[in-house]
Amino acid sequence: MKILVIGGGGREHALVWKLKQSALVEKIWCAPGNGGIAADAECVARDGGDVPAIFALAEKIAPGLTVVGPELPLVHGISDAFTARHWKIVGPLLQAAQLEGSKIYSKQFLLRHAIPTAKMYGAFDSVADAYAALDRVAWPLVLKADGLCAGKGVLVAKDKPEARAFIERVMEKGELGPGGQRMLLEEALEGDELSFIILTDGHRYAPMVPTRDHKRVFDGNAGPNTGGMGAYSSDDLLPAGLRDTIISTIVEPTLRGLARDGVSYQGFLYVGLMLTKAGPKVLEFNCRLGDPEAQAIVVRMDFDLAEVLADVADARLDPAKLKWKSGASACVVLASGGYPGKFDVGKTISGLTCIEAYTGVSVFHAGTRRHGDALVTSGGRVLGVTAAAASIQDALQKAYDAAARIHFEGMHYRKDIGAPAGRLKAVGD
C-alpha cells in the first residue's frame, strides 16, 4: 500500500510512525511533513490546505490511500475532490466537516437531534444584535466565532465589557478573519473536560482510548491557551458507566442524527465533552484527531492502522480489529520560548540521537526542520515526547525522563501533565 498523509504536525508524525509499522505499507509520502517526519516518510513541500496542489500531487504519485490530519483540507473539500475520482481517502466530505467548520451549524445539529449541549442564547451576523443580546444572558458567557479561527475563536467572558471587547475585535474589526463574521453565544458549562474520539466508516464506529489534553501554557492551568501542551490517556480516565452514557446519549445519537440529515460521515470524529453534574454535554466537534491527543492515542494502538484506515475508506470498518494496549500513555509537548506568544525559530535541538532506542519513548516532531545535518526549531510546539506504559505514573516518568535529555534554547514544557491526580515526578527541573 502507498499512503499519502496530509499535514505537518505532531499528529501527522504520530500517524506516519504508526502507519510505517504495517507490513502492508510500501511507501509513505507526507505533505508537507516536517524535520522529524522526513526520517519516516518522503516529505513533499505542499500546503495541506491547498486542495488543487494536493490533488495534483496525488495525480502524480497515485497513492492507494490518503489520510488527512488537519481540518483545513477537509473544510476546503479535499475528500469531495478525491471521492469524485474514486481515490481512497480517510476524512469527511465538506458538508460533514461543517460539524467543525461552523460552530452554528454544529450547535443547530445538536439541538435538532436533542443531543446534550450548552444552551444557545443566539447566533448573530449583526454586531448590533450581538451587543443587544448581552442584556439577556447569564454570566460567565461563552462566545464562539462561527468559523475556523486557529483555536482563537472561543472566549469564556466573565462580564459584559469583556464580551463586548471580544465581539468588537472579532466581528467589527475582523481580527480573526472571515471565521469571525458570525458569532454564537452560549451558556458556560462547568466540569472536567474529556475528549472522546471515534473512527467511523459512516455505518460502524470504533472509539479510540479516552484522552485528556492540557490547553493552558503553564502548570496549574495558568496562562493563555495553546494548541495543546500535552495529553494523556489511561483506562481509568473513563469508567465503564460513563463510557456507556457517552455512547448512548452522545455518540450514537450523533451518528443517527447525521444519517437522518442525509450526511455521510467518514473518518475520525472528535467529540469535546464537558462532564457536568447533569451528565456529559458536547462542547464541540472536530472532524479529525486532536493534537496532541493523537500522539497519546497511537502509542496505545495494538492493531494495524494502515489496514484499519483502508477498511474505513472502503466502508467496511470492523471495530473488533481495534485492539489497545492496556494501561496508559502520556505526551509532553516541548515548546519554543515565548509560545503561545512570539517566539524565535531556528534553535538547534540536541539530545535526540537514539532517544527512542535508549528510553523506549517516541518523540513526535511538530515544529522542526532539517538544517544541514542539524535539526532546528520551526514552530511554537516543537516536539511531543510520548510514552506508553502499564500505568499513568510509569508513562509520565518515561516521558519526563526523556524530555530532560532534550534541549534547545528557550525550551519549556509543563511539569504537571496527567494532573490533577498529582501523579507527576518531574525529572531534571
* Out of 3, 96, 142, 349, the residue judged to bind ligand AMP by CB under 6 A: 142
> Which range in 180-188, 259-267, 357-365, 391-399 contacts ligand AMP by CB under 6 A?
180-188
177 binds ligand AMP (CB under 6 A): no
d(CA 46, CA 44): 6
CA–CA distance, 405 with 67 (Å, rounded to integer): 32
Q: Residue 410, by phi and psi: left (phi above 0), alpha (psi -120 to 50) or beta?
A: left
**Minimum distance from CB of 260 to ligand AMP (Å)?**
23
Give the three cell numbers for residue 190.
462547568
Q: Which stretch binds ligand AMP (CB under 6 A): 86-94, 181-189, 400-408, 421-429?
A: 181-189
Distance CA 281, CA 249 (A): 9
Residue 118 binds ligand AMP (CB under 6 A): yes
Fill in the DSSP letter of residue 117.
Answer: B
Residue 154 within binding range of ligand AMP, rule CB under 6 A: yes
Segment contacting ligand AMP by CB under 6 A, of 32-40, 186-194, 200-208, 261-269: 186-194
Q: Which of 295, 257, 312 is nearest to 65 (CA)?
A: 312
Q: How far is the CB of 187 from ligand AMP (least distance, A)?
A: 6
| Residues in region 367-396 near ligand AMP by CB under 6 A | none
- C-alpha cell of 406? 532534550
Instruction: Tell me the DSSP string of 246-274.
Output: HIIIIIHHHHHHHHHTT----EEEEEEEE
282 binds ligand AMP (CB under 6 A): no
Which among 152, 324, 162 has a CA at the least distance from the CA of 234?
A: 324
**N- to C-terminal Cα distance for the chain?**
44
Q: Which of residues 257-276 bind ligand AMP (CB under 6 A)?
A: 272
Nearer to ligand AMP, 201 or 416 (CB): 416
**148 binds ligand AMP, rule: CB under 6 A:** no
- Which of 156, 165, 315, 390 binds ligand AMP (CB under 6 A)? It is 156
Q: How far is the CB of 156 from ligand AMP (least distance, A)?
A: 5
Query: What DSSP designation does 366 have?
Result: S
The contacts of residue 234 (CB under 8 Å, 6+ apart) are: 210, 327, 328, 329, 391, 392, 395
Indicate the DSSP class of residue 26. Answer: -
Q: Which of 3, 75, 189, 194 binds ligand AMP (CB under 6 A)?
A: 189
Residue 120 as a binder of ligand AMP (CB under 6 A): the answer is: no
Task: Dig out the grid coordinates for 280 from the structure.
Answer: 456529559
Q: Which is nearer to ligand AMP, 105 or 303 (CB)?
A: 105
Specify the residue, 198 or 361, whose C-beta has the smaller distance to ligand AMP: 198
User: Which residue from 12, 71, 146, 284 is in contact with ligand AMP, where contact means CB under 6 A?
Assistant: 284
- Of 45-53, 125-133, 182-190, 394-402, which segment contacts ligand AMP by CB under 6 A? 182-190
Helices and strands (DSSP H and E) totals, the chain: 14, 20
List of residues 6+ apart from 81 with CB closer than 8 A = 51, 55
Task: State the minimum distance, in angstroms, from the CB of residue 282 to ligand AMP.
Answer: 9
Residues that bind ligand AMP (CB under 6 A): 118, 142, 144, 154, 156, 186-189, 193, 272, 283-284
